[in-house]
Amino acid sequence: KAGVTQTPRYLIKTRGQQVTLSCSPISGHRSVSWYQQTPGQGLQFLFEYFSETQRNKGNFPGRFSGRQFSNSRSEMNVSTLELGDSALYLCASSPGTGIYQPQHFGDGTRLSIL
Amino acid sequence: GNSVTQMEGPVTLSEEAFLTINCTYTATGYPSLFWYVQYPGEGLQLLLKATKADDKGSNKGFEATYRKETTSFHLEKGSVQVSDSAVYFCALITGNQFYFGTGTSLTVIP
């Protein structure tokens, strides 16, 4: 069974640009959650999608948004990039809704802002 | 606010040594507590969890007990192996939000 797939693996952008990251969950999983990992802040929860609806949201500004498609694939968008957005962005999937479910993580997208 | 504090790393142990990685938390309500592990070159994966006070989570020889009186969830293993070398994250869920510690890197040497 294929795991959670995130694309691209690495990305370099400049301040002010916008970026879209993609996540394909494990087949059959309907929930997708996004996390930001930085050395200073550690892992922080961004949001969770289930059945194309955002179910839970962390404490991030509105520049961070996401969506989920009918096939459960999810995208995360960050607009007006700032230097502090440089991070590893992780996606996780689970069979049911709610972050209490065991999360299966992808390898992440490393985003660098110049 | 809600937060998780875990011991600073890196931690280096010899094979068969006893491991403790401390984790304390601050949370409103009744959080669920987790330990996640990230092996080199792999994604994060759930190691164990406990959903209420005095519960003990266990997996692969690792254990952690949910201590409400000390707001702690320390990870322990009696005899570590080289294959346990990884980064360990303590985490909690409360109010439908995930909060992670900053991670503790463990290296086990033969």
pLDDT in tens, chain B (110 residues): 888 999 888 999 999 999 999 999 999 888 999 999 988 877 788 899 999 999 999 999 999 999 999 999 999 999 999 999 999 999 998 877 788 888 999 999 99
Other beta carbons within 10 angstroms of residue A114's beta carbon come to 10
Q: Do A45 and B98 touch (CB under 8 A)?
A: yes
Chain B contact present for A95, CB below 8 A: no
User: Which residue's structure tokens are 């992808």?
Assistant: A106
For residue B101, the chain A residues in CB contact (below 8 A) are 42
Query: Model confidence over A24-83: pLDDT tens digits?
Result: 999 999 999 999 988 777 788 899 999 999 988 888 999 999 999 999 999 999 999 999
Of B43, B96, B100, which is closest to A43 when you measure between CB atoms?
B100
Cα dihedral A82, A90, B100, B16 sign: negative
Q: For residues A31 and A36, give the distance between their C-alpha atoms in angstroms, rounded to a whole number.
A: 17
Tokens representing B15 are 């094979």
Q: For residues B72 and B27, give the distance between their C-alpha atoms in angstroms, rounded to a whole number.
A: 11
Closest-CA residue of chain B to A106 = B43
Q: Do B43 and A105 touch (CB under 8 A)?
A: yes
